[in-house]
A and B are shown apart, each in its own frame.
Chain A
Amino acid sequence: MANCRPRSATPNNMKISRHKVAGVFLLDRQLATKGEALYGERTFDGYRLWNPRRSKLAALLMKQAQVPLAPEQIVLYLGAASGTTVSHLADIVSLVYAVEFAPRVARDLVRLSERVKNIVPLISDAAQPDYGPVVELVDLLYQDVAQPRQAEIAVKNAELFLKPRGHACIMIKARSIDVTAKPKTVYKREVKKLEELFDIESVHELEPFYKAHAAVIARLA
């Protein structure tokens, strides 16, 4: 990634402000967290830029949503992939249990967790959680698995691992659930499934950063 070579000097006219979520910053209008560059992203003065087109959580934060993130939280993250989002999340919260099943991307995730002290990698299928002996109760369940049965997977994991009244942040990719239906119909159907276990707090579409994606913020009923 030659064009993403870290630069360290803050340009003189750059304004640094706080996002309403603690631990998240805005450099002019670009999202960032504090830390060293981990996957080739640009950095300014110890701030790592966070691209809302590469991370759905960043897109959600750009949408001014009330995202239930706090510094002392323990998070169970389903669908960690190579850990781009996980690496920023680890700058914000105290501990991330990152679950990923595909061995190829999991290799990057393991490499990342060797460098970052508050990421625990779990190579498992979130649909058949076998990390029961490992994961403690968590404050937030974050899910980005892009699978047709994702609502069931979220419910199952919340039943096992989420604290009473804990939060869930669930990314729905309409195209992975039903390509033929309209995205809005898909969101409604998925929200309905989640209502079995959760109180739904809000639903945000992630346009223009992601097409046909929505984030559901919910709380264990």
Chain B
Amino acid sequence: MAHVKTWFGDIELHNDEIVRSQVLKADIDAMAQRLQREDFADFDKECRGRLREIAIKLQVVSSELEYVSVLRAVMIQSAKERIVTAFAQPDARIIQLIDGIDDIDESINLLSERLSEWCLLTSETSMPEDLLEAFVSSPSAQSPLAQEFAGSISRLCELRQEIANAIELEMRTTAPNLSTLAGELLGARLIARAGGLGSLARMPASRIQVMGASKALFKHIKYGTKPPKHGVIFQHPLVRGSHPNIRGKIARILAAKIAIAARLDFYSKRAYPELLSQLEKRVGELQTAERNPQQHEDITP
């Protein structure tokens, strides 16, 4: 006796004969929903070869042509649902937001450069230190077009801040441990680079450490140059703010803790604040050792 679960219903076969069946007939929505909801076990190749024949015998469809058209309609429906769920995941939202910030940063830089060029035309005197500030605060001195241009840039800056706030909010609920350890924005960037919180959680720490330094990494693998010490995690204040001699070590420790944090966030959502204090303690030790290099040596009289 073989129990076969197919997209159009459940069938029981005995010696190749259908003994019992429960099928959905021409109800495309119900078929698509059943595919999303239930678990399906694999069945043997012989039944698989007879799917069309069985569907026709059970009068789910009347011809092979109809088999294909009904199946196609069901799978289009189910595919659409899957795509919607995939885009509704919080990490998918975070990725969009952080990519948005990167695009805005690029635009702000580009537009600001243009503005400073423009400024050379309109004001022959000294160029103000903070150009944008000067344009927005004393608009009368500049041409109305340049003024408008500067206004757009400062609105982009405001938008960037709003997006950053949204990311912080999303990250606090989706990845609390990662946020505590790496900061919301860096954490979000790591998720975006990995392609999702799940893939970040499945990554080894060594890969997290050099994520974003792929050019240097592959140069190292291919030509034997020095390996990169850090990728995007360089942005973390503990790495960036430390002496270059110990940055590599700190990057390694930080990456290891980030890996643990991502796993906690993805698999359990439990907050584990000790992670940060452990990291700070370890980094503190390293920094002290760096400042007093003789500490461990002068033992012999």
Give the B-binding residues of A (Cβ under 8 A).
95, 103, 106-107, 109-110, 113-114, 117-123, 130, 132-137, 160-161, 163-164, 179-180
Contact = CB atoms under 8 A, between A and B. Distances in A.
Candidate in B35, B41, B43, B75 with the most chain A CB atoms within 10 angstroms: B75
A171 to B, nearest CB: 22
Interface in B28-86: 35, 40-43, 45, 48-49, 51-52, 68-69, 71-72, 75-76, 78-80, 82-83, 86
Given A133-B6, A137-B45, 18 more contacts: A103-B83, A103-B86, A110-B76, A110-B83, A113-B79, A118-B68, A120-B75, A121-B79, A123-B83, A133-B5, A133-B7, A133-B40, A134-B7, A134-B71, A135-B48, A136-B48, A160-B42, A161-B48
B75 A133 contact: no
A107 B83 contact: yes
A110 B86 CA distance: 14
A110 B80 contact: yes
B82 A113 contact: no
B145 interface: no
Contacts of B48: 135-137, 160-161
Contacts of A118: 68
B222 A113 contact: no
Interface residues of B, number: 29
Nearest to A163: B49
B43 A132 contact: yes
A95 B65 CA distance: 11
Main secondary structure of the interface of A (DSSP, over half): mixed
A179 B86 CA distance: 30
Contact of B82 (A95, A114, A123, A136): A123
B52 A136 contact: yes
A134 B75 CA distance: 9
A122 B75 contact: yes
Contacts of B42: 132, 160
Contacts of A133: 5-7, 35, 40
B272 interface: no
B118 interface: no
Contacts of A95: 68
Contact of B71 (A120, A163, A180): A120
23 contacts: A103-B86, A103-B87, A110-B80, A113-B72, A113-B75, A113-B79, A118-B68, A119-B72, A120-B71, A121-B79, A123-B78, A123-B83, A132-B40, A133-B6, A133-B7, A133-B35, A134-B6, A134-B7, A134-B35, A134-B71, A135-B48, A136-B51, A160-B48
B132 to A, nearest CB: 35
B221 interface: yes
A23 to B, nearest CB: 18
Contacts of B79: 106, 109-110, 113, 121-123
Contacts of A164: 45
A48 to B, nearest CB: 21
B2 to A, nearest CB: 14
Contacts of A179: 218, 221-222
Nearest to B195: A102
A163 B51 CA distance: 13
A214 B42 CA distance: 31
